[in-house]
């Protein structure tokens, strides 16, 4: 068993690393041109790749899992930290070797790095034929046609309206049980460290009826869990008034006292939860300034809304939070956590993102992050050290003055603290029974299945005759910091 535990832990650590890639699978039929898509960054990007695959499928492209076989390679990129961009540049060098042998190969850079660098990317990376930002994917067939005609294709226009609501994503890399649904795009917050508002544009919410229809369709096709995605889901706001483009305009109309019908995130959650009691609903990401008690009460009211909240704190110190322009204090954050505990209880999973070594962060302010972690008792966290991003508020206003060794040491302390807390949190689950949705076989052992409980903890147990997509009750008998291990009862 101990070997198994070790293996499981490694797999889960890999899964948790934020910059994992996600590669298209083989669905091309004979005679079709082949598209290879590789995605970096967040789930929004993975979800966008499924929209891209759908748009390109209509153009006669089938997907492949081997880039060597492709006629067209799309890299859906991330700019969140410098490392993410470096990874993409290395990958382009590898594709260059293929292109030398197959000059007809087309290479497109999509996503946030495309939006950040625009046509500069064509000059810096000679291999690139197409540059398309996150709101330009409907134009991809046109851009491919331009390359077919011997030129290069660039579209980095950011829209106030585009939500791709009418496009049914082609599920890439799917386990057939869980799927992501984008409910909004862009971000209107201006966290000073963050490049996303520049790469994804203004915030806009997708028509809730198209979201419910997508969830219903997934359920009918056997899926049992959907995750509603947005950079800041709690600020979801939709109005049937077609003249109002984007959240900013809706809020302006509200301020003017206009009587408009509005669907907020709590309303949307309820609509999706009602699709079917056997369809689990998750969501990410919640912004601490926006998460309301109304959302927490809606979560409490529906068994199928999973009791898990990703609530990135970034820092535990109010001065640093102010510099980060997060618009909440340590006390506000703690109050939101208290509300979660009050309304949803101890069993609700909570996770965070943390940034170590932001501009001017003092040692005692770093300690505040560690003490916040003790207070909240996060089940897990995504943890980073600060990486200055060109064009952001922090890059313009503050000096990136914390030496790399200090950033790394602080990050290590945060990671060690989190591992200890994760193990403690998991130990509390020993000898308890959880309802688990089975997602498939555990990567390291065909004899074991894995799934997650409502609180988003990975649970591994012997296969017997159970199958992906079923709900089972699992008694937890062992655990690591990353995984609960048990058997079906």
CA–CA gap between residue 285 and residue 234 (Å, rounded): 8
Interface with ligand SF4 (CB under 6 A), residue from 144, 181, 191, 472: 191
Residue 355 partner contact from ligand F3S, ligand SAH, ligand SF4, none using kind-dependent CB cut-offs of 5 to 8 Å: ligand SAH
Residues 145-184: x where in contact with ligand SF4 by CB under 6 A, - otherwise, as a string: ----------------------------------------
CA–CA gap between residue 141 and residue 467 (Å, rounded): 39
Look at the chain and count its residues: 489
Nearest Cα neighbor of 62 from 94, 92, 37 is: 37
Residue/partner pairs of 292-299 with CB below 8 Å, 24 or more apart: 292/234, 292/265, 292/266, 293/339, 293/343, 294/264, 294/266, 295/234, 295/265, 295/266, 295/269, 296/339, 296/340, 296/343, 296/344, 297/266, 297/343, 298/266, 298/269, 298/270, 298/273, 299/269, 299/343, 299/344
CA–CA gap between residue 187 and residue 180 (Å, rounded): 18
Strand partners, 280: 225
Interface with ligand SF4 (CB under 6 A), residue from 109, 187, 321, 482: 187
Residue 386 partner contact from ligand F3S, ligand SAH, ligand SF4, none using kind-dependent CB cut-offs of 5 to 8 Å: ligand SAH
Give the tokens for residue 346: 């101890």
- Give the full edge-to-edge strand order of the sheet including 225-229: 178-182, 225-229, 280-284
Give the tokens for residue 116: 């950040």
Residues 64-93 that bind ligand SAH (CB under 6 A): 80-81
- Can residue 268 be called a binding residue for ligand F3S (CB under 6 A)? no
Q: How far is the CB of 42 from ligand SF4 (least distance, A)?
A: 9
Using the contact rule CB under 6 A, the part of the chain among 29-37, 193-201, 254-262, 300-308 near ligand SAH is 193-201
- Can residue 285 be called a binding residue for ligand SAH (CB under 6 A)? yes
Give the tokens for residue 399: 């000096």
Beta strands in 80-188 (DSSP E): 106-110, 130-132, 153-155, 178-182, 184-185
- Can residue 22 be called a binding residue for ligand SF4 (CB under 6 A)? no
Give the tokens for residue 136: 């330009």
Residues 377-416 that bind ligand SAH (CB under 6 A): 384, 386-387, 389
Q: Considering beta carbons, is residue 246 or 451 the nearer one to ligand SAH?
A: 246
Residue 389 partner contact from ligand F3S, ligand SAH, ligand SF4, none using kind-dependent CB cut-offs of 5 to 8 Å: ligand SAH
- Can residue 78 be called a binding residue for ligand F3S (CB under 6 A)? yes
Is 439 within 8 Å of 455 (Cβ atoms)? no
Interface with ligand SF4 (CB under 6 A), residue from 41, 62, 169, 197: 197
- Can residue 79 be called a binding residue for ligand F3S (CB under 6 A)? yes
- Can residue 241 be called a binding residue for ligand SAH (CB under 6 A)? no
Residues of this chain that bind ligand F3S (CB under 6 A): 41-42, 44-45, 78-80, 111-112, 195-196, 199-200
Residues of this chain that bind ligand SF4 (CB under 6 A): 187, 189, 191, 194, 196-197, 231-232, 287
Residues of this chain that bind ligand SAH (CB under 6 A): 80-81, 193-194, 196, 231-232, 285, 287, 312, 314, 353, 355, 384, 386-387, 389
């Amino acid at each position: 068993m101990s070997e198994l535990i070790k293996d499981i832990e490694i797999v889960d650590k890999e899964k948790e690393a934020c910059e994992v890639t996600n590669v298209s699978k083989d669905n091309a039929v004979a005679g079709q041109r082949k598209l290879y898509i590789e995605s970096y960054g967040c789930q929004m990007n993975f979800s966008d790749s499924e929209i891209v695959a759908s748009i390109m499928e209509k153009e006669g492209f089938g997907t492949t899992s081997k880039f060597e076989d492709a006629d067209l390679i799309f890299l859906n990129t991330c700019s969140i930290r410098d490392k993410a961009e470096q990874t993409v540049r290395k990958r382009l060098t590898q594709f260059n070797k293929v292109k030398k042998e197959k000059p007809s190969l087309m290479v497109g850079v999509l996503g946030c790095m495309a939006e950040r660098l625009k046509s500069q990317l064509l000059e810096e990376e000679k291999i690139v034929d197409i540059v398309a930002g996150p709101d330009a994917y409907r134009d991809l067939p046109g851009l491919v046609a331009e390359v077919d005609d011997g030129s290069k294709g660039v579209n980095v226009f950011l829209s106030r309206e585009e939500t791709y609501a009418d496009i049914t994503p082609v599920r890439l890399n799917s386990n057939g049980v869980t799927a992501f649904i984008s409910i909004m795009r862009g971000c209107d917050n201006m966290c000073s460290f963050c490049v996303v508002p520049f790469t994804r544009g203004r915030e806009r919410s997708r028509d809730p009826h198209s979201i419910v229809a997508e969830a219903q369709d997934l359920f009918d096709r056997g899926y049992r869990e959907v995750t509603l995605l947005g950079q800041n889901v709690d600020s979801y706001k939709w109005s049937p008034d077609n003249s109002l483009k984007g959240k900013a305009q809706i809020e302006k109309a509200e301020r003017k006292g206009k009587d408009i019908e509005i669907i907020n995130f709590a309303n949307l959650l309820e609509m999706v939860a009602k699709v079917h009691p056997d369809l689990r609903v998750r969501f990410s990401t919640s912004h601490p300034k926006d998460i309301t008690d109304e959302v927490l009460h809606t979560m409490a009211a529906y068994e199928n809304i999973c009791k898990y909240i990703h609530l990135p704190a970034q820092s535990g110190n109010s001065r640093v939070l102010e510099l980060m322009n997060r618009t909440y204090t340590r006390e506000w954050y703690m109050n939101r956590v208290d509300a979660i505990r009050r309304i949803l209880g101890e069993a609700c999973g909570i996770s965070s993102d943390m940034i170590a070594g932001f501009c001017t962060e003092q040692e005692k302010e770093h300690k505040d992050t560690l003490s916040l972690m003790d207070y909240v008792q996060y089940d897990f966290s995504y943890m980073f050290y600060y990486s200055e991003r060109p064009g952001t508020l922090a890059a313009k206003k503050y000096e990136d003055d914390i030496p790399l060794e200090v950033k790394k040491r602080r990050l290590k302390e945060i990671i060690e603290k989190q591992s200890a807390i994760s193990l403690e949190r998991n130990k509390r689950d020993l000898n308890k029974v959880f309802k688990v949705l089975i997602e498939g076989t555990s990567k390291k052992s065909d004899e074991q299945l894995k799934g997650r409980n409502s609180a988003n903890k990975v649970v591994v147990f012997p296969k017997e005759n159970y199958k992906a997509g079923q709900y089972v009750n699992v008694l937890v008998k062992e655990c690591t910091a990353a995984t609960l291990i048990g058997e079906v009862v």
